Amino acid sequence: GRAEHVELARIADLIIVVPATANSLARLACGFADDMVSLTVLASDAPVVVAPAMHSNMWLAPATQANVRTLRERGVHVIDPTSGALGSGDSGIGRLPEPEEIARAALEVLSAREQASHLLSGRTVVVTAGGTREPIDPVRFLGNRSSGRQGLAIASAAARAGASVRVIAANVESALLAALPSHVQVTRVGSALQMREATIAQTADADALVMTAAVADFRPESSYQLKMKKDPTNEDAPTIRLVRNPDILAEIGHSEARPPLVVGFAAETGTDEEILAYGADKAARKGADFICLNRVGENVGFGDVPNDIRLLDASGHIAARYVGSKDEVAAGLVGHMASFLDNLKR
Ligand code: CTP
């Protein structure tokens, strides 16, 4: 039979860890799996509410605060402890909130999830993710570093919101695709031309297209049938001629048969003013209803650090801003997509 913790993890609609000690926060933040609590939390996709209780000094310790930040970035709901008399006889911050308070927070999480689960029901959403590879020869390509994580977070959030979701994945790691909800339909592609074909086909009857994929703007003019060999008698380097790839977003954004909602992504560097101007220009040029403007470089946009996304509408105005984990940003975007679609004339 199934291990007990897996069974619990599977049937839980919500997990509440109460009281959570400094030790349990550290263990959850690190992803330990060597006792019932850590194992169950790790194995479950249910929302998690954590109610810490400990001495003030332990709560305020940088290590604990960093663990709390990590957990919150991953979408765990950490309830702030209250101030008052502590177990040690001291008084200060670190007291467990009243049970009613914990129950209220837990119910809020459940009802938010329940409401979110209908936001996109009956809708079909196409999400492109990853980065295209443009073949040079059978073993070489021009590529980029896009992992596809943001796109998959959006696909998962849309699926949780009840949409029927199709992902067009360019060179996304199989393990990431395997973590998608099972009813998400995945089409794997390699190059920009393949992505174009799949995206046009899949959006024909869709309500929304979200283009998170990093599509190469150029491809080698011709790709060799056979592996390119270097000439041992000659030090010359070959020249690879590039040609423009079609702009998939612009093509669909401007087409008559476009889905009612088209969302593009733009990763920009520069001052606030500069990136807003680039984003506004992109929204207009591509015929997108929204551009998710992602500020990259320095501390945002890469790795495990918070993303900062502004949603620009077709006229370049900031319609919304989301700062947080990729999942939080995805949930915000999905909420915005749902209200946009609901406000269209049906
Ligand atoms: N896009 C596309 N087809 C392309 C290139 C980009 O559909 N051939 C889409 C991307 O999926 C993304 C948006 O267009 O949604 C990004 O626009 P792009 O003009 O490529 O912006 P950047 O790559 O950020 O670069 P640039 O500053 O060069 O315009």
Query: Mutation test of ligand 1: which of 200, 286, 291 has the most ligand atoms closer than 8 Å to its C-beta?
Result: 286
Tokens of residue 122, six digits: 């009956």
Q: Is 249 in the pocket of ligand 1 (CB under 6 A)?
A: yes
Tell me how far apart the alpha carbons of residues 167 and 212 are, in angstroms, rounded to a whole number: 10
Q: At what angle do helices 326-343 and 99-116 cross, to 10 degrees?
A: 50
Higher pLDDT, 47 or 3: 47
75-122 residue pLDDT tens: 899 999 999 988 888 899 999 999 999 999 999 999 988 888 899 999
Contact 176, 156 (CB under 8 A): no
Residue 131: pLDDT over 90: yes
181-201 residue pLDDT tens: 889 999 999 999 999 999 999
Tell me how far apart the alpha carbons of residues 174 and 322 are, in angstroms, rounded to a whole number: 28
Q: Hey, which residues are catalytic here?
A: 144
Query: What is the residue type of 3?
Result: A
Tell me how far apart the alpha carbons of residues 108 and 49 are, in angstroms, rounded to a whole number: 10
Half-sphere exposure of 76 (CA within 13 A, CB side): 26
Tell me the backbone φ, ψ of residue 247, rounded to 5 degrees. -90, 105
The 8-class DSSP code of residue 46 comes to: S
Task: Please tell me whether residue 76 adopts helix, strand or coil conformation.
Answer: coil
**Separation of CA 91 and ligand 1 centre (Å):** 56
Tell me how far apart the alpha carbons of residues 297 and 344 are, in angstroms, rounded to a whole number: 36
Q: Is 148 in the pocket of ligand 1 (CB under 6 A)?
A: no
Tell me how far apart the alpha carbons of residues 161 and 208 are, in angstroms, rounded to a whole number: 14
Q: Is 132 in the pocket of ligand 1 (CB under 6 A)?
A: no
**Separation of CA 252 and ligand 1 centre (Å):** 13
Q: Which residues contact 58 (CB under 8 A, 6 or more apart)?
A: 22, 64, 94
Nearest-CA residue for ligand 1 atom 6 is 215
**What is the pLDDT, as a whole number, of residue 304?**
53
Region 122-139: mean pLDDT is 97
> pTM for the full model?
0.78
Nearest-CA residue for ligand 1 atom 14 is 249
CA distances 47 to 19, 54, 167, 207, 221, Å, are: 17, 23, 24, 28, 49
Q: Strand (E) positions, 215-255?
A: 218-220, 242-244
Residue 6: pLDDT over 90: no
242-262 residue pLDDT tens: 999 999 999 999 999 999 999
16-55 residue pLDDT tens: 999 999 999 999 999 999 999 999 999 998 999 999 999 9
**What is the pLDDT, as a whole number, of residue 88?**
84
Tell me how far apart the alpha carbons of residues 95 and 18 are, in angstroms, rounded to a whole number: 12
Q: Is 266 in the pocket of ligand 1 (CB under 6 A)?
A: yes
Query: Mutation test of ligand 1: which of 247, 289, 296, 309 has the most ligand atoms closer than 8 Å to its C-beta?
Result: 247
Tell me the backbone φ, ψ of residue 307, rounded to 5 degrees. -90, 150
